[in-house]
Structure 1
Amino acid sequence: MTDVFAPAALGPITLRNRVIKAATFEGRTPDALVTDELIQFHRETAAGGVGMTTVAYCAVAPGGRTDRHQIWMRPEAVAGLRTLTDAVHAEGAAASAQIGHAGPVANAASNGAPALAPSRMFSPLGMRPMKVPDVTEISEIVAAHANAARLAAESGFDAVEIHFGHNYLVSSFLSPKLNRRKDRYGGSPAHRARLAREIARAVREAVGDRLAVIAKLNMEDGVSGGLTLPDSLQVAAWLEADGALDALELTAGSSLLNPMLLFHGDAPRREFAKVLPVPARWGFRLVGKAFLKEYPYREAYLLERARQFRRELSMPLVLLGGITNLDTMRQAMGEGFDFVAMGRALLREPNLLQRIHTDPGAQSACTHCNECMPTIYTGTRCVFRLDQRLDATADPEAVQG
């Protein structure tokens, strides 16, 4: 049995164990730059024992943010990010930057820049049509990912995680529902996967073997007409054959249409309605039940889908979704997964991994109520942690998943 707590290689780096803090937008960057609150957030997680913590979200362009408060990768951001990575390293953990372009999930009204989509769409966030990038603009997006990766290396990160999930830009290109293009970036699965492959190769070329390169890939969108598991398996096989990635982190769901497929557990509709501005609140009350669907929580709830990727691929895989105790971690290792990623359980208890290491039978205090989800507007946190200061650093105009 693979030891969860033993050091493990991830491409060119070695983590002190096989547990990664998953990307959860922190809501602690009011000026799109690192703050002391953001540093403390990740320092606390690192001190709690994870092998690597993931900083989210580091957009590759100003228009690639879900709202204007998110970090976008530019030279002005490097000094703060370097302070953050130094703090994480001082606690013995590695640091990963989640980079990407929000695409249809971007809020154009907040960003002051058009949201992008592979085909013509109306943005419910920005309340305006989205822009369809041409081939030249797509090349610029690829180059922006490479530049963001270079800045991540300059900032002291050990890894980058490219966001290919949740119907962010690359994921929207993978979706036949959202991508109705007739050019080389639309139509067949190979054409819809072209952007993901180009970005992965460009990021690898930009960082070489200085950083580990991970991609967060949707196994399925959970939306009628969206990306299906068989198509995602083919995309994963192409990404593996290209050799640009050190690992895939497997996820599911659509921030636009079905976010609860990623989370499972209670659907916090009332809590979301409370934090939205009045016009959006009224609309949410009409569509909230359809948007936030109910998926009963169970441990390792994405494992059944992920097993199919493990059977088909030889590259390292990261299992996400319902990882809260040592038994589940050991099950993942036993089934051939190389790492596990934890999100909500670490929001509830940043020191959970230390506690598990000391007491292998320890259980997470997270109840999967998902009331942490609406706190993205005021500083992402577990609402049952009384020691966390409420940081009102994000506007209730943003939607993140």
Structure 2
Amino acid sequence: MTAPDADSARAVPDVFAPAHLGPVPVRNRTVKAATFEGATPEGQVTQQLIDYHLAVARGGIGITTVAYLAVAPEGRTHREVIVLGEDTLPGLARMAEAIHETGARIAGQVGHAGPVANGRSNGVKAIAASRMPSPLSMQMIRSATEADLARVTRAYVDGARVLVRAGFDVLELHMAHSYLISSFLAPGLNRRKDGWGGPLENRAKLARQVARAVREEVGDAVAVTAKVSLSDGFKGGVTTAEAVEFAQMLESDGTLDALQLSGGSSLMNPMYLFRGEAPVKEFAASMPWLVRTGMKTPVGRSFLKVYPYEEAYFLEKAQQVRAAVSMPLMLLGGITTTETMERAMELGFDFVAMGRAVLREPDLVNKLAAGRATSGVCVHCNRCMPTIYSDRGTHCPVIAGPDLAVR
């Protein structure tokens, strides 16, 4: 199946008009992408976390996405991440209620960090497709067993159940950035000789198994999407050709309502996702001493590569997926202007996702929709990246003063 092209009879949607994501009505086609908020020091929902999402919800976003909701203790990126369960359910429900009062919808990014998890911080060793050293914990990451994969799949289902009970509208399954599912997809990280390794069909088994299990659990109570990679940006990572084939597999399964098209690797090449300036000094200063020391080595200094920023930098690769599948797609990657949003709609994309742009201006969507602006003011300096480790949590350091509320 192929997506409609510009010459077809498809009506180009208004990005600021109401729409549906699967069974969920939304007020517009804008999504706040999941970016770690740094606002859960005890692994629980805080008022700071709620306020973080209220700012963009009041600012007009259609869906705001809560990041890094782990399905298991070893699946946290580090110990401050929320683990979905009975003890975190009340806070999640309180947050969903607050977001709904603004008219926005709330999504939860459901994931297992796999090799991106800091086993030393978590107090439990990380797992991945294959055994490998961890640059985060300086420990060995063990290869996931069949029992691990069955347990993790059940954990995704249990986590999905928690978010549905909490009143979330959308579940975003994390299948990118070298997290657990992504580590299986990448041939350079998946060296297995069993049925979970080798050809893409085998490497994609965990992703498809999780998506199927979650959909069977939640039915049409919520929308279920997945964040997938257009390219991992490192040798041995998922290529764009494989991304297209993987998207076709997911579409054929019929378990998902949309795909959010991302790229890069939190473990191997994070700047491939962010583009723009690489805040090496700020990042090193914010890291634990062990990691900070490692960043001073030649290998460490090459970790934050520099990729010039350009508007909608994933568009060309995303169009290859758009041409290959008919399911709804969310375009991600440096989107800050009304022109680019409208162009995305013309090219057949169904939603646009933004991260840094609405961190800099939480009320950007309202400004663009009202015609008070045609572009955001984020300069893509990426100095926001290291702030996830600050006491204030993730914030734009360009903004004067500590208040990130809508101005």
TM-score, normalization by structure 2: 0.94
Give the match for residue 326 of structure 2: 314
- Greater alpha carbon shift after TM alignment, 127-136 vs 22-31: 127-136
Answer yes or no: is 1:382 the counterpart of 2:393.
Answer: no
Superposed, 1:176-255 pairs within 5 Å as 176-255=187-266
Counterpart contact for 2:63–2:107, Cα < 8 Å: yes
C-alpha distance in 2 between matches for 1:242 and 1:360: 43
Give the match for residue 303 of structure 1: 315
Counterpart contact for 1:174–1:227, Cα < 8 Å: yes
Question: What is the CA-CA distance between 1:288 and the residue it aligns to?
Answer: 4.0
Question: What is the CA-CA distance between 1:226 and the residue it aligns to?
Answer: 1.5
Aligned partner (choices 139, 142, 152) of residue 153 of structure 2: 142
Answer yes or no: is 1:332 the counterpart of 2:344.
Answer: yes
Question: What is the CA-CA distance between 1:183 and the residue it aligns to?
Answer: 1.1
Render the CA deviation track for 1:166-202: whole Å, top value 9, x for unaligned: 0000000000000011111111110000000000001
C-alpha distance in 2 between matches for 1:227 and 1:299: 23
Counterpart contact for 1:326–1:360, Cα < 8 Å: no
Answer yes or no: is 1:153 the counterpart of 2:167.
Answer: no
Q: Secondary structure at the match of 1:71?
A: coil
Q: Secondary structure at the match of 2:284?
A: helix
Counterpart contact for 1:269–1:288, Cα < 8 Å: no
Aligned partner (choices 353, 361, 373) of residue 385 of structure 2: 373
Superposed, 1:112-131 pairs within 5 Å as 112-131=123-142
Give the match for residue 24 of structure 1: 35
C-alpha distance in 2 between matches for 1:279 and 1:389: 32
Q: Secondary structure at the match of 2:107?
A: strand
Counterpart contact for 2:367–2:373, Cα < 8 Å: no
Give the match for residue 267 of structure 2: 256
C-alpha distance in 1 between matches for 2:382 and 2:263: 17
Q: Secondary structure at the match of 2:31?
A: strand
Amino acid at match of 2:294: G
TM-score, normalization by structure 1: 0.96
Q: Secondary structure at the match of 2:142?
A: coil
Answer yes or no: is 1:272 the counterpart of 2:283.
Answer: yes
Question: What is the CA-CA distance between 1:277 and the residue it aligns to?
Answer: 2.8
Q: Secondary structure at the match of 1:206?
A: helix
Amino acid at match of 2:399: R
C-alpha distance in 2 between matches for 1:319 and 1:90: 27
Q: Secondary structure at the match of 2:79?
A: coil
C-alpha distance in 2 between matches for 1:362 and 1:227: 35
Q: Please, which runs of 5 or more residues in structure 2 have no aligned partner?
A: 1-11
Q: Secondary structure at the match of 2:68?
A: strand
Give the match for residue 6 of structure 2: none
Give the match for residue 395 of structure 1: none
Amino acid at match of 1:70: V
Amino acid at match of 2:91: G
Q: Please, which runs of 5 or more residues in structure 1 have no aligned partner?
A: 391-401
Aligned partner (choices 348, 360, 376) of residue 348 of structure 1: 360
**1:296–1:235: structure 2 CA closer, same or farther, 3 Å change rule?**
same
Give the match for residue 394 of structure 1: none
C-alpha distance in 2 between matches for 1:39 and 1:360: 27
Give the match for residue 398 of structure 1: none
Q: Secondary structure at the match of 2:302?
A: helix
Superposed, 1:43-82 pairs within 5 Å as 43-82=54-93
Render the CA deviation track for 1:104-158: whole Å, top value 9, x for unaligned: 0000001011101111101111111112121121011111111111100011100
C-alpha distance in 1 between matches for 2:347 and 2:152: 36
- Give me the identity figure in percent: 53
C-alpha distance in 2 between matches for 1:207 and 1:14: 17
Counterpart contact for 1:204–1:245, Cα < 8 Å: yes
Question: What is the CA-CA distance between 1:33 and the residue it aligns to?
Answer: 0.6
C-alpha distance in 2 between matches for 1:387 and 1:94: 28
Displaced runs of 4+ in structure 1, greater than 4 A? none
Question: What is the CA-CA distance between 1:211 and the residue it aligns to?
Answer: 0.5
Question: What is the CA-CA distance between 1:351 and the residue it aligns to?
Answer: 0.3
Amino acid at match of 2:111: G
C-alpha distance in 1 between matches for 2:190 and 2:379: 37
C-alpha distance in 2 between matches for 1:362 and 1:193: 40
Answer yes or no: is 1:107 the counterpart of 2:118.
Answer: yes
Counterpart contact for 2:339–2:374, Cα < 8 Å: no
Q: Secondary structure at the match of 1:236?
A: helix
Give the match for residue 305 of structure 2: 293
Amino acid at match of 1:66: T
Q: Secondary structure at the match of 2:110?
A: strand
C-alpha distance in 1 between matches for 2:168 and 2:278: 34
Render the CA deviation track for 1:23-44: whole Å, top value 9, x for unaligned: 0100100111100000111111
Amino acid at match of 1:317: L
C-alpha distance in 2 between matches for 1:360 and 1:348: 16
